[in-house]
Amino acid sequence: MSISEAIAQRAIAAGLAKAKELGSPSSIAILDSSRNLVAFQRMEGAVLASIEVSQGKAYTSASLQMNTGDLTAYVQPGAPFYGLEVSHRHPMVVFGGGIAAKVAGVFVGAVGVAGGSIENDTAIANAAAAVL
């Protein structure tokens, strides 16, 4: 399965609606299962750093086929994956806002959101991923 442009744009729209509801200007990235960017949107007012961080969250989620928020405990000093965020050519982002998307248990891609609190980023990413 792959994420079509049309579905990716609907996911972006769902994420934007949630971001507006939360008052959290954000950047939203949608990657396919091969970690390729399918769609991206930076809202007016979203900090510039959110561009790369949102894509990094999606990349991390797609690379590991898991939500980035689930990694946080495992990358702390003394934990099994300490240093993971710098172990790859492309930096891994190991805090909330990256969501792995699955359809009928099959990984299809990932959403990454940055620009607000971790809680808001995660809520926005979940809204977008629900469309995928």
CATH of the domain at 47: 3.30.450.150
pLDDT at 1 over 90: no
Nearest-angstrom CA–CA distance, 56 and 4 = 21
Range of the domain at 20: 5-131
pLDDT tens column, 42-69: 999 999 999 999 999 999 999 999 999 9
Q: How many Cα atoms sit within 13 Å of 3 on the Cβ side?
A: 33
pLDDT tens column, 74-126: 999 999 999 998 888 888 999 999 999 999 999 999 999 999 999 999 999 99
